[in-house]
Amino acid sequence: MRLHRNLVFAVIDGLQEIFNENRYADKVVQNLLKRDKRWGSRDRGFVAETVYEIVRWKRLYTEIAEVRAPYSRENVWRVFAVWATLRGITLPDWKQIEPTPSRRIKGRFDELIKIRKYRESIPDWIDEIGEKELGKLWDKEVTALNTQAPVVLRANTLKITRDKLRSVLEDEDIDTGFIKGYPDALQLVERANVFSTTAFKNGFFEVQDASSQLVANFLEVQPGQKVVDTCAGAGGKTLHLAALMQNKGQIIAMDIYDHKLKELKRRAKRAGAHNIEPRHIESSKDIKKLHGKADRVLIDAPCSGLGVLRRNPDAKWKLQPEFLDKIRATQAEILERYAKMVKAGGKLVYATCSILPSENKQQVMAFLKTDIGAEFSFVKDKSLLSHQSGFDGFYMALLERKEA
């Protein structure tokens, strides 16, 4: 592979922003890709994938490069040289690249991969908590979380069937395959920019991981029901609920972040989902108004996001142990507060994109011991680990409010 100066400089600039300015990798990459209109898909792919790759393996590469935060531009070039050497790429004779000790880099790599926290490039505390909560499964899981996530689409059945979507995408030169056990899902055979397709602009699909697609189904919604999505965000699962309800009934999509609900409105319009009513949560009154009113309630709770590290590799460097304690307290509070919206005989799903039992089953079991939780029965739950499913790590539990 021949390295092109303008592409590599873009990678270096992006890494400096992510490593030193605490910027989110996806936003940085988004901006980098607008840098040069002459770049083709291969150029853009190189920039995006190289940035993500180096962010993912940051701990391993910086250890080999012998650099520490804060990272100077010279430090970032050294990290880039480690990445290139380990991939067998011949480094050009540029003044930014110091003479690279290839043999020493490979020797150091061989030593470090015997130690899991370096091999899997994770902070000590995440490695410790992963092992504590998942035991022997952690080894396989952390390896799976370091692989690139596949691109999965969810056919919007308000407008098109999955089979028809597949042939429409084929006409746009995008090859997809079915995924057994996921009724609305299509997986891309090769990565492609699906957002530029006519099919996307027509609202025929959403990009949504296969594990995430199971959550709306787990809630067992029916057309005509009153459903509350309490942490709707930009609405990936809300839109799926609308499709499952065939646009009949009412979905109240709530969130504390108004800008996310604005994005949901835009997406709902494209998807042709007419039964969604976005509601900004401004105070506890907004929740009290709905006490005992909903047939179904979805709590897609805020969490550590450890199940989606494959698509957000920079999250492991931003997460702190104290955040985990704080988020567990928030989860417990949300579960107690929002469960009151479920009517007698109604159902509730508590879901997270975490793999830690302390954010998942343990939260549900603790809730069932509370005053409001005692009014619910545990129906079933599902824990999805990346190394078993091949998709994101997720958890979902179905509870039913007892008849009065």
Token representation of residue 126: 């995440």
Active site residue 231: no
- In the structure encoding, which two tokens stand for residue 347, read together? 């159902």
Catalytic residue among 353, 364, 396, 398: 353
Q: Which two tokens mark 32?
A: 């980098």
Q: Distance of CA 23 to CAs 17, 30, 91, 285, Å?
A: 6, 12, 28, 35
DSSP 38-49: T--HHHHHHHHH
Q: Which stretch of DSSP H or E encloses residue 127?
A: helix 124-134
Pair of tokens at residue 55 = 């962010």
The angle at the Cα of 231, spanning 397 to 196, to the nearest 5 degrees, equals 105
Specify the 3-state DSSP secondary structure of 388.
Answer: helix
Cβ atoms within 10 A of the Cβ of 284, count? 9
Distance CA 94, CA 284 (A): 60
Q: Measured between alpha carbons, how far is 373 from 367 in angstroms, rounded to an integer?
A: 5
Task: Determine the distance from the C-alpha atom of residue 276 to the mean position of all C-alpha atoms in its chain, rounded to a whole number.
Answer: 23
Q: Are 140 and 355 in contact (CB under 8 A)?
A: no
- Residue 184 tokens read as 């609305």
Peptide bond preceding 70 in cis form (omega within 30 of 0): yes
How many Cα neighbours within 13 Å face the side chain of 6?
Answer: 10
- Angle between helix 210-218 and helix 236-244 axes, rounded to 10 deg: 50
Whole-angstrom distance, CA of residue 292 vs CA of residue 338: 10
Are 278 and 190 in contact, with CB atoms under 8 Å apart? no
Instruction: Give the catalytic positions in this structure.
Output: 353
